[in-house]
């Protein structure tokens, strides 16, 4: 059976996910597109999905009988109503991060899915599918002993003026928030935020870089540098210090060159290239589970836990370094 997918939001990542569904992966086809800016949907239709029908609204796309499953790749603030509509229609839905831009919004999705009685939602936390993070997890689980510290960095070369201080958490660090819960099999209890002087390339509405310190229930301290105007490249770093040793996230494969009395290797500049393979694997997982009528991988609960933590980090951005507590309610059995 071929899974018929409708894509809501045809910007950068909606376009890229449509390309992989149409040209890279087997088992699915994009039959419907929607975007508040219809020109974006038309561009994606023309380039990758000539047979897809364009719907005026995401709600109409979700209701369309030919659509078996939905991809939500519109702006973060629009995710919640589309995911709720897909659950109400009983259709599997892959939602790009963040699941919702507030913890209450993510909680409403968890409650709707629990009431439906079956998992339908996969959140786009693709790092869990990255070969480097999987290898790091194996090293942490089997070799380096119980974790004590994590040092991490999330660096983007530049961001537009519309990117503001809280977005460093909701839009960017949300990936670290999710992946460290998974990597350490732990939950967070507090967050602190510290700022050095502002980088010269930053904007007036953005404190950049920021350092977020998360503490986990098992007592691990995680420091994350978020630097979104680092200029030199797209660079994701992570080192886990354990009782018996230290494990580091592998660098992306690159050719080591000796040229002109220098050793050189390339640093990527675009998130699309850094995680290209993990986007393929996460969507392949979605196709498999959605074809069977359900969902797998990062869940609504993971999206909710990330949203609660992100809200605490954003609150901690204005407490002059004071810790903000993080607490989750009891996890519903659906997500055990």
Could you list the residues that contact ligand NAD (CB under 6 A)? 8-14, 34-37, 40, 58, 73-76, 78, 96-97, 124, 126, 171, 271, 275
Phi, psi at residue 4, to the nearest 5°? -90, 120
**CB 242, CB 148: distance < 8 Å:** yes
CB 271 → ligand ISE: shortest distance, Å?
4
Among 113, 171, 176, 235, binds ligand ISE (CB under 6 A): 171
CB 98 → ligand NAD: shortest distance, Å?
6
Q: Which residues pair with 69 in a beta bridge?
A: 5
Among 75, 138, 145, 149, binds ligand NAI (CB under 6 A): 75
Nearest residue (CB) to ligand ISE, 234 versus 286: 234
Token pair recorded at residue 325:
């507590």
Determine if 172 is a binding residue for ligand ISE (CB under 6 A).
yes
Nearest to 173 by CA among 317, 68, 26, 7: 317
Nearest to 170 by CA among 298, 72, 315, 14: 315
Nearest residue (CB) to ligand NAD, 13 versus 214: 13
- Total residue length of the chain: 336
Among 18, 22, 74, 101, binds ligand NAI (CB under 6 A): 74
Determine if 175 is a binding residue for ligand ISE (CB under 6 A).
yes
Part in contact with ligand NAI (CB under 6 A); list of ranges 31-39, 206-214, 240-248, 293-301: 31-39
Among 80, 113, 130, 171, binds ligand NAI (CB under 6 A): 171
Q: How far apart are CA 185 and CA 189, in angstroms?
A: 14
Nearest to 231 by CA among 269, 187, 182, 265: 269
Nearest residue (CB) to ligand NAI, 74 versus 144: 74
Any residues with CB less than 8 A from the CB of 229 and at least 6 apart, and which? 156, 157, 158, 159, 199, 201, 202, 206, 208
Nearest residue (CB) to ligand ISE, 144 versus 278: 278
Nearest residue (CB) to ligand NAI, 40 versus 309: 40
Q: How far apart are CA 212 and CA 291, in angstroms?
A: 39
Name the site residues for ligand NAI (rule: CB under 6 A): 8-14, 34-37, 40, 58, 73-76, 78, 96-97, 124, 126, 171, 271, 275
């Amino acid at each position: 059976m071929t899974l018929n997918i409708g894509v809501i939001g045809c910007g950068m990542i909606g376009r890229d996910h449509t390309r992989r569904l149409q040209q890279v992966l087997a088992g699915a086809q994009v039959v419907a597109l929607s975007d508040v800016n219809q020109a974006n949907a038309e561009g994606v239709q023309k380039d990758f999905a000539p047979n897809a029908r364009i719907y005026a609204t995401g709600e109409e796309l979700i209701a369309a009988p030919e659509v078996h499953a939905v991809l939500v790749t519109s702006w973060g603030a629009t995710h919640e109503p589309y995911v709720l509509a897909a659950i109400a229609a009983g259709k599997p839905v892959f939602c790009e991060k963040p699941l919702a831009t507030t913890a209450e919004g993510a909680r409403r999705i968890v409650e709707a899915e629990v009431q439906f009685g079956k998992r339908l939602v996969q959140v786009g936390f693709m790092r869990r599918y990255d070969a480097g993070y999987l290898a790091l997890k194996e090293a942490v689980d089997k070799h380096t002993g119980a974790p004590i510290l994590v040092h991490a960095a999330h660096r983007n070369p530049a961001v537009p003026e519309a990117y503001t201080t809280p977005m460093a958490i909701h839009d960017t660090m949300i990936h670290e928030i999710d992946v460290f819960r998974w990597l350490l099999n732990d939950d967070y209890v507090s967050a602190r935020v510290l700022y050095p002087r502002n980088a010269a390339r930053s904007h007036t509405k953005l404190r950049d870089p920021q350092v977020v310190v998360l503490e986990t229930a098992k007592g691990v301290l995680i420091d994350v540098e978020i630097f979104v105007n680092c200029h030199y490249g797209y660079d994701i770093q992570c080192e886990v210090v354990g009782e018996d040793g230290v494990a580091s996230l592998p660098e992306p494969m690159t050719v080591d060159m000796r040229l002109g009395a220098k050793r050189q290797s390339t640093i990527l500049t675009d998130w699309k290239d850094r995680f290209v393979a993990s986007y393929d694997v996460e969507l392949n997982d979605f196709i498999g589970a959605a074809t069977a009528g359900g969902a797998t991988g990062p869940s609504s609960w993971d999206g909710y836990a990330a949203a609660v933590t992100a809200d605490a980090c954003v609150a901690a951005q204005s407490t002059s370094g004071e810790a903000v507590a993080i607490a989750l309610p009891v996890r519903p059995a659906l997500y055990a």
